[in-house]
Amino acid sequence: MSSNNNYPSNTNYGPNTLQYNTSGQNNTAIGSYTLSSNTTGSSNVGLGTNASLKNRTGSFNTALGTATLCFNEAGGRNTAVGSNTLEYCEGSNNTGVGTQSLFNIIDGNNNTALGENSGFNASNIESCTFIGCDSGVADGIINYVHSTAIGCDSTIDASFQIVLGTSDETIKIPGTVDSITLSNGSINPDPNGVVQKYYVDSISTGVVIKNPCACATTTVTVLSGLQTIDGYVLEVGDRVLVWLQGTDSLTNNQSVSNGIYDASAGDWSRSVDMSGGSNANNVSVLVLYGTE
């Protein structure tokens, strides 16, 4: 172990470490050619062959691993942990943890990547975050900003975007969510789950929301048996919205048989939350399946 001749506050160990330093102070370089080109940069730490190899004036950088921050010359306050992490970076305030994370980034600033190859193909990004192995961007040429990808193989394809997982996965949020927009328009049938804006709006206007029905009738229907309704094959216990029964022949009461029923192999029974016609006032119900 030895100290740079110009400034004793520098510590270097290995061939060609800090060999061109002129006025940089408080640097630590361990490994062949680590901080080899540094001239005025200060408070840098390099550990591993070619770590911060090209750094000249950049300060407050930490490079741990072979070829980490290898081509950075002036960028500052970067942290790279793992072989080839932030290898081509010339920006500032970037953090990469994991082999080859943020490998191709050049001028980007304020980015964070955690996981092997996270943000690997991103070259022009600002203030983006990648968490998970192989998380990255759809097009490495586009200058994405303020986007986040979370999960293995998750990919951002626009600015100001948050991506959780991939299209092959289901996102579950067990806690309370103050505000959410579902891009595919789907609704969680769980009465305690995430709901869409229309639900909240309906509550505020006095509409009563019933639990979802599996399907809805499309014509006058015999209210018994596990039949097929609107393309959906009923199972025992399915809720069915019956709304086209017409006029009762005995009482002349229009649509007296309409309502929500629980399907069974025999005669259906009215659901407990709509035991009679009087329960249908100001009611809204979601139908989960069907073609109409």
Per-residue pLDDT tens digits for 108-153: 999 999 999 999 999 989 999 999 999 999 987 788 999 999 999 9
- Residue 2 pLDDT greater than 60, yes or no: no
Q: Other C-beta atoms within 10 Å of 36: how many? A: 24
Question: With bands split at pLDDT 50, 70 and 90, how would you rate the model's confidence at 3?
Answer: very low
Q: Of residues 151 and 253, which shows the higher confidence score?
A: 151
In whole angstroms, give the CA distance from residue 122 to residue 124.
6
Number of Cβ within a 10 Å radius of residue 130: 33
* pLDDT tier, 75 (very low <50, low <70, confident <90, very high otherwise): very high
Distance CA 238, CA 286 (A): 13
Backbone dihedral region for residue 217 (phi beyond 0: left; psi -120 to 50: alpha; all else: beta):
beta
Closest CA to 56 of 93, 102, 78, 24: 24
The residue extents of the domains of the chain are 197-287
Name the maximum alpha-carbon separation found in the chain. Answer: 108
Give the pTM: 0.62
In this structure, of 85-89, 134-138, 169-173, 178-182, the range with the lowest mean pLDDT score is 178-182
Q: Range with the lowest mean pLDDT among 96-100, 140-144, 230-234?
A: 140-144
Q: What percent of the chain has pLDDT over 70?
A: 82
